[in-house]
Structures are given as C-alpha cells and as structure tokens.
Structure 1
Amino acid sequence: MPPIPLPIPTSLSDLLLAMDLIGVFVFGLSGGTLAVRKNLDLFGVMVLSLAAALAGGVFRDLLIGAAPPASLRDDRYLLAALAAGFAAFLFHRPINRLGKPVMVLDAAGLGLFTVAGCSKALAYGLTPLPAALLGVMTACGGGAMRDLLVAEVPRVLREEIYAMASLLGAAVVIAGQHLGLPPVPVAVVGAAAVFALRVVSVLRGWSAPRAPGS
C-alpha cells in the first residue's frame, strides 16, 4: 500500500507548488542555456530543458509512491519546462551576460527543489534521514541528467559544494518541523541557505573533502 500523505497547511502547500514550478522553470533555463552553449538545435535545447527541469521530481514522486508523478498530472510543470527551453533558445545572449548563468540558475533551482522535495517526503510520512536524501535527489537529479546528456561529469560528483548545500537546506526544513516553527518562513530560509552556500562556495573556491593522499 502506498504511503498516505499527511495533511499540509494550505499556505505551505501553495508555497511548495510555487517553489516546484519556479524550480522547474529555473532548472529548465539552466538546461536550455547549457544546450545552447553546446551548440544543440531547438530539439536538443528542449530535451535538455525538460530533463533538467523534471527528472529530479519524477524520481522523488516514484520513490514515495506519488504516482503518476506531479509533472505528468499537472500540465503546468511541462508548460513551465517548455517555456524555459524556448526562453533559453531565444534569449540566451542576455542570459549569458548575467555572468555564470548556469551556476546561478542551478543554485536557485537547487534551493527550491531541495525544500520542495524534502517537505513533500516528510508529508508522505518519511523519517528525517530518508526525507533529506529525497530532498537531495530531487534537487540533484535533474542537474545530473542534464550534465550526463552532454557528456559532462555531473556537478554533484565534482569537487564543488553541491549536494552538501542541498543537505543544508534539507536540514533546515527538518529542524524547522521538529521545532514546530512556521513552515512557510522555514521553507524560504532553507531555499535561501542552499542558494547562498552554493554561490559563495563557487566564488570562494570551496570544495568538498577528498580522500587523503588522492
């Protein structure tokens, strides 16, 4: 029997939906922008945008028994991903002028998807550790799929702080629930913490620990 989701406050439910959709669009932009940089055609841009935007959420929903996945039940997910792909295809020049566009977009999507994924896992009755892992998988799955499709080592496996930033956001969400704090501010703080740590780690050159002597 699939797990039964726990009641979610309406305000938090609306916020998580908004975070999910904004995350889909942002990750879709990161995928589309990378596809343009790799000189892919329109079809390639749309494929990379869809993969980056939706893969993590699909994995999450299948693992917690929320089938069919939200992106196949709600047209807004697909429309947001497709809109992001077209936006990247048409407006990649002004996007690239922002400086490190893929990294910034990726960091924003990482924060949004971490919070949405972890919160949804908790709502389906998962304990904190599996919920944190689901949050990280939601956040990192799309980016990993995007990078693999263009034959790059996924960012989550590189030296940069990536999955660790996602874990920080999941920890904020779990701690907030444990302490009984208002869920909406906790979600916002969690997403902001992921974004800040990810961006600062890139700007400062921070990296995850490596094996001694490697």
Structure 2
Amino acid sequence: MAKSPTRPNPNRTEIDAFLAKVAATPAPAAGGRGRLIFALDATMSREPTWDTACQIQAEMFEATRAIGGLDVQLVFFRGFGECKSGKWQPNAEGLAAQMGKVRCHAGRTQIGKVLAHIKRQAEKTKIGAAIFVGDAFEEDIDSVCHTAGEIGLLGVPVFVFQENRDPLAEKAFREIARLTGGAWCPFDLQSAAMLKSLLSAVAVYATGGMKALQDYSASGGRREAVALIEQMTRPGKGSGQR
C-alpha cells in the first residue's frame, strides 16, 4: 500500500500530550510480572522499519527487569487475512526469535482482529496494557471502535504508535486510544530513539505503576520517563485525569 508523505518529527507538544494520556491511565497493582501485548502491522508498507521494531522490543524487557519482569505476547497481521499471536515470552531473546521469523507481506490492515484478540486475552487474565504500531487503517471504523470500547471496559489501555501521518489512520488510531483509555503518538524513522523511550516507559508503568516509573527515572531512565512522572504529579493535569 502507498505511504503518505512523512511529516516532520513529532514535536514536544505531541509527546507531552501522549505522556499526559498515559498519566491519566489508572496504574496496575505493583508487584509481580507485568503482561503486555505487543501488536504490529507486518504488511509490506512497514517492511523498512520492521528491523527497528525488532531492536526496540528488547528495551521493554530491560526497563522492567528490576520490578518483577515482563511477559510479552507478539501479535501481528499481514498478507491475505493472516493475523497471528505467539506464546507469552518472559525475555527479549524469546520475543526476538519470534519476530525474527516474521516477514512482511502485502495485504490490508486487520486491526479489528488484533483488538478482538486483546479482548479475548483480557477476559481470561489480567493484561497491564497493549501496544499497537502501524501506519494505515483500511477497515470499518465503527466495528473496530466497538471492540475498542469493549476493551476499555475491561481496563486494558491501548497505546497506539503511528508511523507517518496518514490522516484516515490518525483519526481511527486516536479513537481507539480514546475508547480504551490509552494514548496515541506519532513517530518516524528519525524518531526511533524517542519511540524506544516511550515504549519502555509504557512497559514500566504497565508493570509497576507510578513507583516503578519513579525508580526507573532515578536509575537512569530516559527523559520521557522523567517527563511522564512530571505529568502525573502536576496538579490539574487536564481533562484526561480520572
């Protein structure tokens, strides 16, 4: 599928807005291992950045190692109606092995199937959060957002990271984030380091809540984690507060 022209890197306002939404999300109970679903668009338009996604995933495990650890389930879609999920992985090596076997195939988006999977998992066990990384949306928005609303009722925030800035995808992604109580943030190849930091911050928060984030930033976490704490502790942080 054709990509929309790449816009400039996400500005500080957009990152702050994302952090504010994360700050407004109720934290999971601290202690024990966190559970995070890591969902990716593996259609052909995302092939240039697939290797970047493979490298970034290791940061999420490393960031949560000291607070009980993280179990991550990979979900991806590609090709003609193919949407798959892997076994829960307790370490970066296992997830990297799964991702290393995936090759991007041309096809339409299947975000509705991803959300349906998240809903089924959340009905069976506690999921701290879900992350989706994609660049396009080619489905019925009402049907997809209905499922997103059901996920929101189950208490699983979906944090959506959008590559490039296709306006139709942005509209759908923002709505998915809103309905689940999650957040939306744009990125591109030039902002991979920022994406890595934000993914790590979400993983830490999903695993251990505020205290874990404070410890993470104090021990050398990136500035996005520090900014996240500032957003959470700032009085009157905005309409997103619960």
Between Structure 1 and Structure 2, which shows a larger proportion of helix residues? 1
Q: Tell me the TM-score normalized by structure 1.
A: 0.32
